[in-house]
Chain A
Amino acid sequence: MLQIIRTMKLIILLLTLGFMQVYASTYGQQVTLNLKNVPLSQLFREIRKQTNYDFIYNDNLIRNKLRISLQVKNKDVKEVLCDVLKLHQLQFNIIDNSISIEAIDKEYTTIETNHQILTQQQSVIQGTVVNEKNKPIAGALIWLKTNDKVGTPTDHKGTFTLTIPTVEARLVIYSMGYEKMEISSKELSKNNIIRLIPKANNLEDIQVMGYGTTTKRLNAGNITTITAKEIEKNPVNNVLAAIQGKVPGLYIQQNSGHPGGSFDVRLRNAANLASGPVAPLFIIDGVRYPAGELPQLTSGGYTGYEFFQGGNGLNFINPNDIERIDVLKDIDATSIFGSSGAYGVILITTKKSKSGATAFNANIYSGLTVLGKTAPLLNTEQYLELRREAIANDGKEPGPLDLDVNGTWPQDRYTNWRKELLGSSAATHNINIAYSGGSENTNYRFGSTFTDIGNIQMNKGYDRKGSLSMNLNSNTPDKKLNFSFSGNYMAATNTMIPIDFSSLSSSLVPNSPPLFLPDGSINWDELIVSSNTHPIANIHKTINDHNTNLISNLILNYKPTDNLTFHSTIAFTERNNRKTSKQPSTVFHPATKEQAIERVATLDIINLRNFTISPYVQYRKTIAQKGSFSFQLGGEINNNLTKMLSTSGLGFSNDALLGNPYIATNLKTDNISREYRSIGTYAISKFIWDNKYIANINIRRDGSTKFGPGRRFGTFGSGALAWIFSEEKFIKNNFSWLNYGKLRVSSGSVGGDAVGDYGYLDNYRAYTGTGSYDGTVALLVDALSNPFLEWEKNFNTEFGLELGFLNNRITTDISYYFNRAGNQLLNTSVSAVTGFNNFQRNTDAVILNKGLEILFSSSNIESKNFSWSTRFNISLPNSKILKLPTQHNNVNYKIDESPNGVLVYNYLGVNPQTGLREYKNAKGEVKSSTTGFTQNDRTEFINLDPYYFGGIQNTFRYKRISLDFTFSFTKRMGQSMIAQEITTIGHFGTNGSVIWLDRWQKPGDVTDVPKLTSTPTEFYMYSFNISSGAYEELAFAKLQNLSLRYSLNPDLLKKLHLKQLAIYFQGQNLFTISKYGGLDPENLNSRTIGPTRIFTAGFNFTL
């Protein structure tokens, strides 16, 4: 893979090299070149013509090197050579008027002849050139500012020796991809390390597109890239937590703070009318990856849903194994994935081998996880005060069942249940090691990771993962054939009992009896048991959730001729989940535990398999010197298979026998399978003229088995145009401060098949219990089928403006998108009279998703010892329904409003005279209950989409210390804390948040918290929860990540025999600025643990 990327990178880079340094230098010998697809020798001839340099080289050295295309204007000859030759693993040396070409690996001594004899005036300068990570830069060039004929490249260790004719001189240091640097020889003699700073702009950073690479400059689509450098700063369990707030348009919400919890991922409000957000397509190393919620079986004692909120497939990829993440947003960028990419594509590339010196790298950190932000709860004194007031408000006396106030429970007993149940801190450990190396034609990387995360809840258990990865990359010597294989295997075990105690800990009465007796058994006699058990009894359950995850791919690339490429990726992922859960009799109240039937053991086995083959052939041609044309024809065959086997045993004679469901008195098994196949064929042509004008056209035909025969195929297409206007003469002449400017537009249609499998098929299914009734198998209608399901039709358009100022130290990307979704596949709710609650269909509704995204980065201060850079992004999404579906009557849909919202009653607040909540109906009548209100009285619309979201990241570096912190921010509507209380506070058995202290007490009190009552009048707070009062606007900012890193002095490293060593501290989710009733505004859910706070310290070294 890497080799292909590198090959493509080379070609594309060479095409664009000229743009970079046009204004960079005015000294030295300059050349102006316009070469297309020529051998290196041709370049040397051209340079010779324009300068007085001669070239000395061995023909064998350049014979097999790729041809180059180059366009530069008035550029320093040394920079041109440095850039071009470095890509060919070559370096050069200037001696007088001769330039000698050498292989970069060769160790050689410089200045053999003329400068060997030192005169009094002469001095020898030695030094090492390194990058920001203290890694040596080979082939960097050092020369005298006053005389550019005196110079030398660095060797593969980054060191150089230069003899200068004077005692002191100004030196210039240059290497491709880094800022040119000047330093005085005197300064250098104090500290012989020269650290080059990477170019502030990222215009030439490589971006991975579908099946290929490009640079940001020549890309007509919209792609945002996050690299390992960013990801590594986050000590997180799931990579989604690391990229949150960093990609414009990508909204990520963490639903549970438990390790293994789920995430909502939504790109550009990719909401179709279906109830939930549609997640983008995740591709890991070329294969579709099931990154969303984990498939669940409901047969067991618990489904895991409460705790993990569904879980997430990316929990099985160690974030430290990821090299880069490319988020493909517009239709041009995603066109290659066609309809599968209709909701955006996220490409994840794992770490791959790199040719170069053999190296061993280890990254080790440990830390602590603690509970994040939670809403403060009432203590005993406050709780009892409210309870007594509530009973008095009702004109009653404490009754026999009011155990908390009638004296049964001590009035001075107080337990902080939250601290008790989920207040512990859990240790986190992470180890990554990698060994890589190889030669020019074959290289390899082996890696291994280990992660251990503890549980902050009182029911312990751990989440442990270990992985092995390997990558091998090989070329034939003529570089015509490239082969690459990579595999990543992870085994993960989670033994945390999937019960979230958030709800229990915040609702338990503060003076309620202890949950456990001194001997550790459950205090059944005193607890209020609501069904046949108590939530705390769940700690007697056990679970072992074991997952193995394999990602593998094989890439073959064959270039029979210079302009023809055959490429094929064969990729395979497999995840096997084996979950054993045991429910012993101790989970149940002793009154029922005699019944053996209560003992349950389940064994669930889930296998997911994805297989993708994606071949293509590409033909490139240069037209009339200035134009470059490519045509690509390819396809993708995809096959996803899900198999689930659930075995559940009920009725064991003893808890010790729960290991094997087979011996249960009642055994139930269920075998489920699903297969999804899709196929796509595409043709893409790209045309680039004069490196200014870019035009792409894509046509694609997709087939999917989500639809019935006859409706499986759809044809879609798109086009894109880009204009790099900063290359135009009139811009160059008049706006010299503008280094880079590009306008781009893309537009086209794409299908969508985001519905369940087999929705077209009329099916029966056996009853999921024992399956039989009086000895006869019972078959039930499975669902309402719809044989007319067909492709969704989305029409997406995007405009983009990209600018770079002040030598690209400031860059800005502005994108505006405009997506019309039609023929939407919708699992519509239907009346239960139909026998089911929902029905899948294509609706005639039209939804418009539009939005503005801004990405801004700036290198604020750049100096030798100190630098400061900032990256900022903001997304302003906006969705609305343009046409309501005629066949549908969803209570919450409103024309010109977001499909992701609710229509609610108009809440007026608490009446200062009566203390009751009041609502206004459509006629303007004010009532204290919504009883008798109709749908028409739901006059208020609450948009649940984020209004805006984004992040700001600052990076500071002072000498070897770097500090990096990221804030993410969001503004949206959310269900308020008070609306999340299970019932109104005041009746027996439920504690609540301190918001209730502000309750209405006497006529004249102005407050938003109603009068207390000991009887739950508004049952389940029904009226209030569907009124505008239940929602509040929340704007919040989170210190998402803080990373402090110190790299050790090279002198010290030498003594330690290390190439590199850095020590760091990292913190995740450190604090939140929000007014949201004390609740974490991230998951907006008082009944689920919010994102936890993580503190880690670690070190990273290379041998």
Chain B
Amino acid sequence: MKTKNNIYILLFITTYLSSCNSYLDNVSLPIEKVPSQVTFSSESMIASAVTGAILESAESASLTSSTYYLTGLYTDVLKNTAPLASILPYYKNTIQPSNSQFWSKYYKTILNTNAAIEGINKSNFNLQNKSQWLGECYFIRAYNYFLLTNFYGDVPLALTTDYNINNSLSRASIDEVYEQIIADLILAKDLLPDNYKNGSAQNTQNRYRPNKATASALLSRVYLYNKDWEKADLEATSVIENSNYELEDLENVFTNGNKEIIFTFANYAPRRAPAFGQFNNNMPATLSSTQTTGSYLVYSALSDALSESFESGDLRKLSWVRQTIAAANLSRPETIYYFPNKYKSAVLDNGLEIPLRLAEQYLIRAEARAHLKHPNAKDDLNIIRRRAGLPNIDPINIFEAIAKERYIELFTEGAHRFFDLKRTQKINEVMKIAAISKETVWEDYMALFPIPLEDIYQNKNLIQNPGYTQ
């Protein structure tokens, strides 16, 4: 009996235990995911990882956190026309660390560029277009750091994927951040191709990925912000003289295929020209007495300050601005709203958001040359004016003239107005006046956005910008 029992038990144990380890090793991997080592083992997969970083950057540039829309409300570009709780803190300049929303998206993009750079450098695969992929990564990283430092001031410089390092970074000074941006852009300029290429490294008409001139264009802006006038002039000139770029007819500036674009983000489902929905949304030219702009889900129009800044005869007011008359009712007199009309349609390839276009390069060069006391500074300014149907000028204060031109030319694009006011130290002066019509109060500290509270909690080395809840 005993032996019989023992045999049974022994048989049982051996059959059972023998299958243990291999059973666990055979677990299937998630079908929808790709292990990193697989990603960095082929050209097209690496192109996809880099494309992911570009797409992530497009997400952060627009979609819900639309920089042009929210910073327009934050400054004197847009006014609030109907109640909507989510935009109030921006319009009233009362953003709190709890609703500061750009930060995490920029860093998510940066992680994707860092991961791609590390993966490409580690990859044993013989890459045909390594320099394009790396160049694109450096450009996207620089572009996101440029946005970060302009919103938040000193920011942590995350240059690796190691969470341990990134989670305990202190804030690097603005100068250090710019040093990194410039280094990345110089590298990108060196690595990127002359022509526009697509994700298969083929030449393309679409300007959805950066090329050498794109890096130059952003460099010229960065040098301008850093008051390095010679280099700004030099980089802007290289773009202006590049035969790929020409100023377009006002009507076509924001549609795909025009030669004014230096770099634009592709529209792709579900990201379809959100700017069209925000400012137009098929609202007719007249609103009845029972309708508000909110009836058409439009909550902002050009501020009075901006709509009154257009000179008479400015074609931009005809092409890039749209009027709607709201009939009088108990709560309002007859009101004329001026809505931004740069983004005219929700159709794909239309109503593009364009981070870099040629007109800005002329204005950059004008400003740089004005600082360099260059006699031709006003010529670049006049090129932009003439396109808008305005006469040439020779202003006494050319800096004021350029600032005004930028206000009118670049409204609801990127965060130009907000950044321009800050870099020219005009922000407090301008915003204290704007605050009166916005029925709010502007404090100096509001020039910087608050760092999200979660980040302050998770990283002891991060210190909140002054004026906000720590």
B157-194 with Cβ < 8 A to chain A: 158, 161, 163, 166-167, 169
At the interface with chain A, which of B96-104, B363-371, B381-389? B96-104
Please determine whether B462 and A831 come into contact, CB atoms closer than 8 angstroms.
yes
Bound-state Cα–Cα, A833 to B459, Å: 9
**Please, how many angstroms separate the alpha-carbon atoms of A666 and B267 in the complex?**
14
Interface pick from A331-339, A668-676, A971-979: A668-676
Chain A's nearest CB lies how many Å from the CB of B444?
Answer: 15
Say whether B200 contacts A776, CB under 8 Å: yes
B1 interface residue per 8 A CB criterion: yes
Q: Evaluate contact between A834 and B111: CB separation under 8 angstroms.
A: yes
**Whole-angstrom distance from the CB of A992 to the nearest CB of chain B?**
15
Contact B268 A772 (CB under 8 A): yes
Which residues of B, 125-175, contact A by the 8 Å Cβ criterion?
Answer: 156, 158, 161, 163, 166-167, 169
A902–chain B nearest beta-carbon distance, Å = 12
Bitwise interface map of A from 649 to 681 toward B, beta carbon under 8 Å scored 1, else 0:
010000000000000001010111111111101
B51 cross-chain contacts in A, Cβ below 8 A: 772-774, 776-779
> Contact: B4 with A1022, CB < 8 Å?
no
**A123 contact set on B, CB distance < 8 A:** none
CB pair A779 B98 closer than 8 Å: no
A777 nearest in chain B by CB position: B48
Is the C-beta of B47 less than 8 angstroms from some C-beta in chain A? yes
Given contacts A830-B167, A835-B166, contact A781 B112 (CB under 8 A): yes
The interface stretch among B32-40, B65-73, B224-232, B399-407 is B32-40
Which chain B residues lie closer than 8 Å to A781 at the CB level? 52, 111-112, 115, 161
A566 touches B8 (CB 8 A): yes
Please determine whether A780 and B52 come into contact, CB atoms closer than 8 angstroms.
Answer: yes
Contacts of B424 in A (CB 8 A): none
Q: Chain B 198-225 against A: per-residue CB contact (8 Å), 1 yes, 0 no? A: 1110001010110000000000000000
Report yes or no: A591 in contact with B469, Cβ–Cβ below 8 A. Answer: no
A994 vs B49: C-alpha distance in the bound complex, in angstroms? Answer: 55
Chain B 427-470 interface 0/1 with A at a Cβ cutoff of 8 Å (1 = within): 00000000000000000000000001011111110100001111
**Are the C-beta atoms of B454 and A829 separated by less than 8 Å?**
yes
> B295 an interface residue at 8 Å Cβ cutoff?
yes
Which of B82-90, B237-245, B300-308, B313-321 sits within the interface?
Answer: B82-90
Contacting residues, chain A, for B458 (C-beta < 8 A): 829-831, 889
Which residues does chain B contribute within 8 Å of A765, judged by CB atoms? Answer: 32-34
Check: A989 CB closer than 8 A to any chain B CB.
yes
B15 to chain A, nearest CB (A): 9
Would A778 and B297 count as touching, CB distance under 8 A? no
Check B330–A408 contact: CB distance below 8 A.
yes
How many of chain B's residues have a CB under 8 angstroms from any CB in A? 103
A831–B164 alpha-carbon span in the complex (Å): 10
CB within 8 A of B34: which of A678, A767, A779, A1020? A779
> Is A592 part of the binding interface, using a Cβ–Cβ cutoff of 8 Å?
yes
Q: Given A650-B269, A832-B107, A833-B107, verify A763-B35 contact (CB < 8 Å).
A: yes
Instruction: Answer yes or no: A395 CB below 8 A from chain B CBs.
Output: no
Q: Is B408 an interface residue when CB atoms closer than 8 A count as contact?
A: no
Cross-chain contact B48 with A779 (CB below 8 angstroms): yes
Whether B396 is near chain A, meaning CB under 8 Å from some CB there, is: no
Return chain A residues, CB-CB under 8 Å to B470. Answer: 932-935
- Distance (Å) between the CB of A1013 and the closest chain B CB? 14
| Option from B96, B98, B206, B455 in Cβ contact (under 8 Å) with A831 | B455
B30: Cβ under 8 A from any A Cβ: yes
B53-61, B247-255, B372-380 - the one binding chain A: B53-61
Residues in A with CB closer than 8 Å to B39 are 764, 779
Q: Which residues of A contact B111 (CB under 8 A)?
A: 781, 834-836
CB distance from A846 to the nearest CB of B (A): 21
Q: What's the minimum C-beta distance from A827 to chain B, rounded to whole angstroms? A: 13
For residue B62, CB closer than 8 A to chain A, the reply is no
Does A619 belong to the interface (CB within 8 Å)? yes
Q: Check A619 against B35 for contact (C-beta < 8 Å).
A: no
Distance between B113 CB and nearest chain A CB, rounded to angstroms: 10
Which residues from A are CB-within-8-Å of B89? 1019
Stretch of A31-39, A225-233, A526-534, A1031-1039 on the interface side: A526-534
Cβ–Cβ < 8 Å partners of A1029 in chain B: none
- Residues of A with C-beta under 8 A to B415: none
Q: Mark A25-65, 1 if CB is under 8 A from B, else 0.
A: 00000000000000000000000000000000000000000
Please name all residues of chain A whose beta carbon is closer than 8 Å to the beta carbon of B36 when the two chains form the complex.
Answer: 762-764
Cross-chain contact A408 with B331 (CB below 8 angstroms): yes
The complex places the Cα of A531 from the Cα of B85 at a distance, in Å, of 10
Which of the listed residues A524, A526, A591, A674 has the most CB atoms from chain B within 10 Å of its own CB? Answer: A591
Query: Does A890 touch B at the CB level, under 8 Å?
Result: yes
Chain A residue numbers with a CB within 8 Å of B56 are: 780
A-chain residues with CB within 8 Å of residue B98 when the two chains form the complex: 1020, 1022
Chain A residue at smallest Cβ distance from B82: A401
CA distance A867 to B55 in the complex (A): 73
Q: Which of A537-567 touch B at CB < 8 Å?
A: 560-561, 563-564, 566
Give the distance in Å from the alpha carbon of A766 to the alpha carbon of B115 in the complex: 15
B23 touches A679 (CB 8 A): yes
B167 and A831: CB pair below 8 A? yes
CB of A560 within 8 A of CB of B8, answer yes
Residue contact B33 to A764, C-beta cutoff 8 Å? yes
B32 touches which of A399, A591, A766, A890 (Cβ 8 Å): A766
State in angstroms the CA–CA spacing of A808 and B393 once bound together.
105
Which residues of B have CB within 8 Å of A772?
51, 268
Do residues B107 and A834 form an inter-chain contact, with CB atoms below 8 A?
A: yes
Contacts A705-B27, A764-B33; A837 near B104 (Cβ below 8 A): yes
Whether B16 pairs with A635 at a CB distance below 8 angstroms is yes
Identify which of A406, A670, A762, A834 contacts B330 (C-beta below 8 A): A406
Q: Within 8 Å of chain A (Cβ to Cβ): is B5? A: yes
- CA distance in complex: A158, B117 (Å): 84
The distance in angstroms between the C-alpha atoms of A1101 and B45, with both chains bound, is: 67
A784 vs B36: C-alpha distance when bound (angstroms)? 12
Q: Is A520 interfacial (CB 8 A cutoff)?
A: no
| A410 close to B (CB within 8 Å) | no
A617 is an interface residue with CB less than 8 A from chain B: yes
Instruction: Chain B residues near A1020: list those with CB within 8 A.
Output: 96, 98-99
Q: Which residues of A contact B49 (CB under 8 A)?
A: 764, 779
**A107 to B4, alpha carbons, bound, how many Å?**
43
- B325 interface residue (CB < 8 Å to A): no
Look across to chain A and name the residue whose beta carbon is closest to the beta carbon of B453: A891
Q: Which of B402-422 contact A (CB under 8 A)?
A: none
Q: Does A589 contact B (CB under 8 A)?
A: yes
Question: B residues within 8 A CB of A617?
Answer: 8-9, 12
Given contacts A403-B331, A633-B13, A681-B16, are A672 and B30 in contact (CB under 8 A)? yes
Distance in Å: Cβ of A11 to nearest Cβ of chain B: 18
Is the pair B32, A770 in contact by a Cβ cutoff of 8 Å?
Answer: no
Please state if A769 and B28 are interface contacts (CB–CB under 8 Å). Answer: no
Partner of A675, one of B28, B110, B166, B467: B28
A589-B295, A776-B48, A932-B469 known; A637 vs B23 contact (CB < 8 Å): yes
Residue A931 at the B interface, CB < 8 A? yes
Do B456 and A935 have beta carbons less than 8 Å apart?
A: yes
| A709 proximal to B (CB < 8 A) | yes
Q: Which residues of chain B come closer than 8 Å to A532, judged between CB atoms? A: 297
With A761-B29, A778-B55 known, 8 other A-B pairs at CB within 8 A are A531-B84, A589-B295, A772-B268, A776-B199, A831-B156, A832-B108, A934-B469, A989-B83
Q: Which residues of B contact A (CB under 8 A)?
A: 1, 4-5, 8-9, 12-13, 16-17, 19-21, 23-37, 39, 44-45, 47-49, 51-52, 54-56, 58, 83-85, 88-89, 94, 96, 98-99, 103-104, 107-108, 110-112, 114-115, 156, 158, 161, 163, 166-167, 169, 198-200, 204, 206, 208-209, 266, 268-272, 281-283, 290-291, 294-297, 330-332, 346, 452, 454-460, 462, 467-470
Q: Which 5 pairs between the two chains have the least Cβ-Cβ distance? A: A835-B111, A776-B199, A400-B331, A934-B470, A832-B104
**CB-defined A-B contacts under 8 Å, sample of 12:** A529-B297, A531-B84, A595-B346, A633-B9, A671-B31, A674-B30, A675-B28, A709-B25, A758-B30, A776-B199, A830-B458, A988-B83
